[in-house]
Structure 1
Amino acid sequence: MRHAMYNRLTIKSFWVMPFLGTMMFSSHALSALEEVVVTATKRSQSLSDVGLTVTAMSGDKMRELGISNVADLATQVPGLTYAPSLSSSPVYTLRGIGFFESTLAAYPDVSLYMDQAPLPFPIMADLVAFDLERVEILKGPQGTLFGNNATGGAINFIAEKPTNELAAGLNVSYGRFQTLEAEGFVSGPLSPELRGRLAVKSVRADDWQRSYDTPGDTLGEKDNTAARMLLNWTPAENLDVTLNINGWRKKDDPIGVQMIAYNPEYEVGAAGFGGVLEENEIPIQSYEPYNGNSGRDAGWTPGLPYQDNEFWQVSLRFDYSFGNDLTLTSITSRSDAKIDAGIESDGTYLILIDLLPDQGDIESFSQELRLSNDPSNDLRWMVGLNYEDSEVSQSAGYYYPDTTSTMVNGISVNIFESDQEMDNRAVFANLEYDFSEAVTLRGGLRYTEADRDSISNLANHPFLEPRNGAEFTVTEFFNLAWPVLFGDLGYEGVLQPGDNIALDTRTDANGNPVNPDTYLKPNVKPQFELEEDNVSWSLGVDYRLTDDVLIYVNVMKGYKAGSMPTLSGSIYEAYEPVEQESLVDYEAGFKARLWNGRASLNGAAFFYDYENKQLRAKFVDPIFNQLDKLLNVPKSEVTGAELEFTALVTDALEISVAGTWLDSEVTEYEGAVGSTMGPMGFEPINASYAGVELPYTPEWSYAVRTTYTFDLSAALQGFASVGLTGQSDSVGVLTPVPARQERYSIDSYSLLDMNIGIRSRSADWELALWGKNLTDEYYWHSAVPAFDTDGRYPGRPAEYGVRAAYRF
């Protein structure tokens, strides 16, 4: 693949750099690296004392690197990847564990938190990364302390807290595409017991993509705003109360897609109620796939895509210390999100699969209550309980008048609606025991009950009429189709406009109806229930080889709750939920502080035993041929290793190198790779997926950075920072077909960034030039099928600008 040899040579050199670093140190006394404190175990600990694999990044470093969301974070953290999905919901994958699903109600594999208050759905984290003290990325299943939906790991954003003295600050950045970012805060005491902090961020930008279909049409405008208010009240020495109110509005254009291949649902000669598909009737067939090399080029339906999404959260935390060495912590949160988007996913000006509109509402309440003893004890314990109640509704209009499906079936538009309710309850316990000064034993358990209900509806679109030669509404079409396909099995009935058209055709191994009450009945909305329970657990041993070297071994098991989709299909089977997935992590690692604290070297090796991986994959619908459906992959595995090295070569020069190696494969799964026409519509052609690489799992990913600070005068400092991040080839879709693996490949890439500037020695002001992707590398986040086409979601081109900061 492109850049493959370059990446192999570059990455191999990064792995040996820590050992070459010993030759670069001078002999005189130097400063030590700053200690990093994290809350990975829900207690404050030095990162070097935590027997888990954790990556932490300070808020100052995030501002320097221009990180404002998890997508930006993924470019700087090896092993973490980001991909846009069909709707507004982003997808995060950590060490190869992720859930590529666009349904708003889909829980992620990588759970997200703001100050330990859950952001249960991925879209909620879009604009929370501002005014942060740090972010922590916990790798591997975190089921014991963080619960369901953390099979891949957890990301915890920690906000800057109110200060005891009055303080304020302003950060402003201006760059390419007229991008103006402004972030400010004010913090300080409101009374002797009460402190407050208010932070606001605004991002405005012009378009950065240009249409290769419609000259002069552009895409990429931003008008985003986020705010956070924290109040910290300490009425007594043993009581600490924090109120966090945060929210954002994201009004911008999603990434435009590049159409890379023609992939028809129906071949020439296919016949249906709409007629016979003739070659000269296929609009997309004369369309040339994109073969350029710029992320700025894309195709879209005029007026699309767009999004206007809102989110807010209120969380209240109490920490009450009893006089007998105990602390009671309560975290209560309420989160709401509203989604209003128009989605374009085929990468052309044609209307092949547009969601118009895609709207949704999310309401979520959570409560955590935990009791813990003093962390200075040899025996440290924590017990607690969690409760979450969430309701999600989503409505999407599917518009596809220029597809081969419309030519064959005679329909061009429908609407899909879904309402889901989730109710989760859990109790947990965690224990750490210092068996000796060198050995610590760790263990944890969590019992979880997860209930989920969904009801779906597929019907006529209430506002859009058939077009482009389509002869029927959805209701009219299925009043023709169902008697022909299932009349001999007993189907009777007439659908009325607005009725649900999905038909329950499910039978068991003996040919009996799975549900006699809904079997072959018209206008029965697909309705499903999931009632699941599980026990997550963890066992670990820490061995303190010396005061500066920690070795740890962990075995951990975590779960992700079952899921229900928002999608279209003509039969009930398309809407069936997937059951919970589980992952067992066998992991060993080390953390070492070297050269009198001037350097740190952390490493880990792991093996994941992954069962029932949840996957949005292709399913053969008897009417519409290959559509999306949620499926479970029975067995798969991931083997990997990580290394992080940071060093102060001199008081002025700091280097950091991080790399992740992954090897993933499916070991058991059989699924559709094609279809054929049978007596009752399309039927699947299945094949084994054993040996296939998991999506978004590059073999290598890396981040290298050098920062140099130098004195300009008694009052001024200069600084320069250069970073190189990237990954090797990966794939966006799980498929055993070599031609499709090539089509959905995500090529290797390397991104160069730079910061250079001056600041006062007291750090109360700073002025810098910055650049991202300075080599203008063409790369893409994902490559996925749409409807009659395949497309890529490209990354942003070279960007550069100036940044100023001032602290009052």
Structure 2
Amino acid sequence: MFNVSKEAVKADKGCAAPSFQERVMRSYRSVAALAGMGALAWSLALPLAAAQAQETANPQEGSAGADRAVGLEEIVVTAQRRAGKLQDTPIAVTALTGATMERARVQNFGDLVTKIPGFSINSLSRSRTNPALRGGSSSLSAPGADNAVALFVDDIYYGSAGDFEVDLFDIERVEVLRGPQGTLFGRNSTGGSIAVVTRDPKAAPEGSVEVSAGNYDLIQARGFVTSALDDSEHWLGSLAFTGTNQAGTSFNRTVGRAVDTTNRMSLRGKIKWVGRDDLTVLISGDYSRKSETNEARDFLGAPPSAAGLRAVGYVPDRQRRLVDQFDNGSFDSTSWGGSVKVEAEVGAGTLSSISGYRRARINQTPTDLLGLPVLTVSVGEPRKLDQFTQELRWISPSGERLTYVGGLYFLYQKDRRDEQFRTRYDPTTFAGALQAATFCPLQGDELNFAVPGCVASRPDLFDPNSVNTFQSSKVYSYAAYLQGTYELIDTVRLTAGARVTRDRKTARGFTRGDLDFIFNPVAVPGGFEGTAGGYRVGRLSKSWTAFTPKITIDWKPREEWLVYATVSKGYRSGAFQLEADATTAAVPIEPEYVWNYEAGLKSRFLDNRAQLNLAFFQANYRNLQFSFTDGTTGDLVVSNAGKARVRGVEAEAVLIVADGLTLSANYSYQVGHVRGFPVQAEIPDGQAPGQTPRHSLNLSASYAHELPGGGELSLAGDFQYKSKYQLEINPDPAFTSRVKGLVNGSISYRTANEKWQFTIWGKNLTDENIVTYGQDFRFLAYSFDEAYNPDSPRYNVAAATANMPRYAPPRTYGATVRLNF
């Protein structure tokens, strides 16, 4: 049962806010302490690891080292579309095995953030999840628009704004490729690409099932099974599932129920036919269902002056997990997909055909964007997606002096969204004045409230409004690519490749409903498909062609070292955004391009007990895609900025301190600037790209110890820090986020026969309130003078800085029992 006193995050202590100097000193001390602890830990650990390496190299007779070599695991990746060692791959890539993800309870992309240097995610809602890498980010959500970080699951492209809201289960490994991957992975990877590889069927019978229980009434079950389906082992099969049910992590006092609930399940099945040594066919299918509330939002600011809120006696507090939304809303989605992969080994290489189909149906009722007990603005996004992809890929044999990969790619996508806006503008607010000024000539220049004449003559303007914006898009994408690697000498390789992409997008739509100065500011006598007004956007069409080359040279000065330098280009397709007026909607958003310059080092030393990977990069963007609110019209506008530049360094380190004890760390430093904003955006040049924290630090440790009797005790923990950054390309403090010190941990015991495992775990143990998205809707709660006019005696700083954040999950903890068979 939801327990407000224990499970909702506690109210602030009521202490006075620290001064600016105090905050600066706290930040300095925190970073200095983190750097000091990291330096101290590594300075103490390295001599111990070196001593252990010496013992391993010269083990005493009968010692443990004589029986078992201790060293870092060799991870095989397909970042270049062929299998190869991670440390021999000249790309900045982080690879996580399924075992690593299970140990750290990485079950979604939000959990993955702690493992990838510089990786970030913001989320307006479950249907709008925006990943970011190296300045590549996106706030575009219209049908046909694309993310800046491409997602592939078993080689199938996931191309919708809600595709990062998926469960990660039955995982073989996850590869995160940082920087543009425009040659082999194609369009919409200006920031990078994420390749999720799930487990394939095996002939040997194997399986597991686990059950977890935790706070907020968490119940979760996960499992998989695989085996040969016939005696000849020509047919193999596997089935995996996950299901999670959890009461909301916030409590809505207005409706008296929990909000931000979790209720979802996913299935994946595979059948593999091994006909001959040179031919395999893999058929995969997956299904997912979600039935949850919408997100919780917390209103932070001065008591609103809106008459409707005063009438109900609303006064905001600072209890982050106790909210006052007028409604919880609902989010229901069903998605399924299938793929067929055929691989044939021929004398000159391997020919693969990969066909995939995806279908998604989302029904999201309007969700409150302010966290207030009366209707102000809410948005729902019912959506339908159908997608088909086909790829033909040719891979030359490995081990030759010249190796190459080439292929053809096709994508068809049909995406439809029926946005539902529900608004009510209080006539005593700035929003009420804008509503009156748009449709009532009597308003004049008054900005603080709707004048009595407008309220009396046009009361319909201040009733609850309903506006629908329907948008439909079709995408046709064709591509051809080729990349080859030539061994110049034994230790030096040259890689060159290019991809040609042709995209064609069509869009149409209309807006209908009540008159609304933000969402429907077009008055048509008699109305258009609605009660008061609207407009139609006829069929729009645009094509783009992109050439995205890449060249890399790498050198191995010694067996366990790799030095490389890369120049590559990335491309994100253009799009149409139909939420604006008909004239603006007819102008497409132009494609985004990025040139990436990178140098890197991959190394192992201390007898394979230590690993250090470094990447130095500069990304130069052109036509950076972003969205903003027009300060004059109030419209949501999607446009292109002129140029952006992001520079940075990424470091990943792993150290086996002693048998069973492993420390790892990753750090990212990046600094970026955007220039050439449209005038109406009112954003000064020099603003950083969205989701580009200057400092990101992740530390983790794991320890496994064999107990008398053969059982094993394991401990694992990780720590994350991110300096302040903006969730969007917007200097507004409402879009500011940071991670001061998030801690996760677990303790596990595995029986001697390795059948049973018992784990106690905790996530966000420091109970941080991490903002995953912000809102600035001050004009809906206050008058102009209160929130926007510092020269007025009515100006209130708490009103001027009001915001409505969405938070990441609070502290959660529980226990898991796992049976392997």
TM-score, normalization by structure 2? 0.84
**How far off its partner does 1:141 sit?**
0.2
Deviates more, 1:594-603 or 1:68-77: 68-77
State how far apart, in whole Å, the 2-side matches of 1:456 and 1:201 are.
37
Which of 325, 328, 334 is matched with 1:310 structurally?
A: 334
Tell me the equivalent position of 2:638: 630
Deviates more, 1:784-793 or 1:610-619: 784-793
Tell me the equivalent position of 1:520: none
Q: Structure 2: which amino acid aligns with 1:297?
A: L
Tell me the equivalent position of 2:713: 718
**How far off its partner does 1:37 sit?**
0.8
Tell me the equivalent position of 1:602: 613
Q: Structure 1: which amino acid aligns with 2:606?
A: W
Structure 1: where are the runs of 5+ without partners? 265-278, 481-493, 503-522, 674-686
SS of structure 1 residue aligned to 2:82: coil
SS of structure 2 residue aligned to 1:22: helix
Query: Which is richer in strand?
Result: 1
Tell me the equivalent position of 1:400: 423
Q: Structure 2: which amino acid aligns with 1:248?
A: S
**How far off its partner does 1:128 sit?**
4.0
Q: Structure 2: which amino acid aligns with 1:543?
A: W
Tell me the equivalent position of 1:682: none
**How far off its partner does 1:73 sit?**
1.1
State how far apart, in whole Å, the 1-side matches of 2:746 and 2:224 are.
23
State how far apart, in whole Å, the 2-side matches of 1:215 and 1:5 are.
43
CA 501–534 in structure 1, closer or farther in 2 if over 3 Å, else same: farther
Q: Structure 2: which amino acid aligns with 1:744?
A: F
State how far apart, in whole Å, the 2-side matches of 1:284 and 1:538 are.
61
State how far apart, in whole Å, the 1-side matches of 2:78 and 2:712 are.
33
- Give matches, 1:342-357, under 5 Å: 342=365, 343-355=367-379, 357=380
State how far apart, in whole Å, the 2-side matches of 1:74 and 1:367 are.
30
State how far apart, in whole Å, the 2-side matches of 1:75 and 1:254 are.
25
Which of 231, 234, 240 is matched with 2:280 structurally?
A: 240
Q: Structure 2: which amino acid aligns with 1:121?
A: S
Tell me the equivalent position of 1:580: 591
Deviates more, 1:280-289 or 1:646-655: 280-289
Q: Structure 2: which amino acid aligns with 1:254?
A: N
Does the Cα contact within 8 Å between 1:608 and 1:638 map onto a contact in 2? yes
> Alpha-carbon deviations, 1:226-260, whole Å to 9, x = none?
00001111101100111110121111223311223
Q: Structure 1: which amino acid aligns with 2:287?
A: G
SS of structure 2 residue aligned to 1:791: coil
State how far apart, in whole Å, the 1-side matches of 2:169 and 2:524 are.
53
Q: Structure 2: which amino acid aligns with 1:190?
A: L
Residue 4 (1) aligns with residue 21 (2): no
Which of 775, 781, 785 is matched with 1:784 structurally?
A: 775
CA 559–691 in structure 1, closer or farther in 2 if over 3 Å, else same: same
Which of 675, 687, 700 is matched with 1:705 structurally?
A: 700
CA 377–525 in structure 1, closer or farther in 2 if over 3 Å, else same: same
Q: Structure 2: which amino acid aligns with 1:373?
A: S
Deviates more, 1:11-20 or 1:189-198: 11-20
Which of 30, 37, 50 is matched with 2:89 structurally?
A: 50
Tell me the equivalent position of 2:210: 171
CA 496–135 in structure 1, closer or farther in 2 if over 3 Å, else same: closer
SS of structure 2 residue aligned to 1:260: coil
- Give matches, 1:373-452, under 5 Å: 373-403=396-426, 405=431, 408=436, 409=439, 410-411=460-461, 412-452=465-505
**How far off its partner does 1:456 sit?**
1.5
> Alpha-carbon deviations, 1:29-48, whole Å to 9, x = none?
15011101111011111100
Does the Cα contact within 8 Å between 1:413 and 1:474 map onto a contact in 2? no
Residue 198 (1) aligns with residue 251 (2): no
Does the Cα contact within 8 Å between 1:733 and 1:784 map onto a contact in 2? no
Q: Structure 2: which amino acid aligns with 1:175?
A: G
Q: Structure 1: which amino acid aligns with 2:509?
A: S
Deviates more, 1:132-141 or 1:397-406: 397-406
CA 771–197 in structure 1, closer or farther in 2 if over 3 Å, else same: same
Residue 299 (1) aligns with residue 331 (2): no
Does the Cα contact within 8 Å between 2:303 and 2:314 map onto a contact in 1? no
For this pair of structures, how many residues does the alignment match?
Answer: 726
- Give matches, 1:322-361, under 5 Å: 322=346, 324-342=347-365, 343-355=367-379, 357-361=380-384
Does the Cα contact within 8 Å between 2:314 and 2:373 map onto a contact in 1? no
Tell me the equivalent position of 1:183: 222
State how far apart, in whole Å, the 1-side matches of 2:547 and 2:531 are.
41
State how far apart, in whole Å, the 2-side matches of 1:122 and 1:561 are.
14
Which of 738, 743, 750 is matched with 1:759 structurally?
A: 750
Tell me the equivalent position of 2:799: none
Q: Structure 2: which amino acid aligns with 1:374?
A: P
> Alpha-carbon deviations, 1:734-785, whole Å to 9, x = none?
235xxx3x33321342111111121134533211110111121222112233
Structure 2: where are the runs of 5+ without partners? 1-22, 57-68, 440-459, 782-802
Does the Cα contact within 8 Å between 2:390 and 2:409 map onto a contact in 1? yes
**How far off its partner does 1:104 sit?**
4.8
**How far off its partner does 1:670 sit?**
3.6
CA 347–576 in structure 1, closer or farther in 2 if over 3 Å, else same: farther
**How far off its partner does 1:109 sit?**
0.5
Q: Structure 2: which amino acid aligns with 1:5?
A: Y
- Give matches, 1:297-696, under 5 Å: 297-302=322-327, 304-322=328-346, 324-342=347-365, 343-355=367-379, 357-403=380-426, 405=431, 408=436, 409=439, 410-411=460-461, 412-460=465-513, 478-479=523-524, 495-498=527-530, 501=533, 524-567=536-579, 569-574=580-585, 576-620=587-631, 625-672=633-680, 687=682, 689-696=684-691
**How far off its partner does 1:671 sit?**
3.2
State how far apart, in whole Å, the 2-side matches of 1:37 and 1:763 are.
25
Question: Identity over the aligned pairs, expressed in percent?
Answer: 22
Does the Cα contact within 8 Å between 1:391 and 1:421 map onto a contact in 2? yes
**How far off its partner does 1:499 sit?**
9.1
RMSD of the alignment, in Å? 2.6
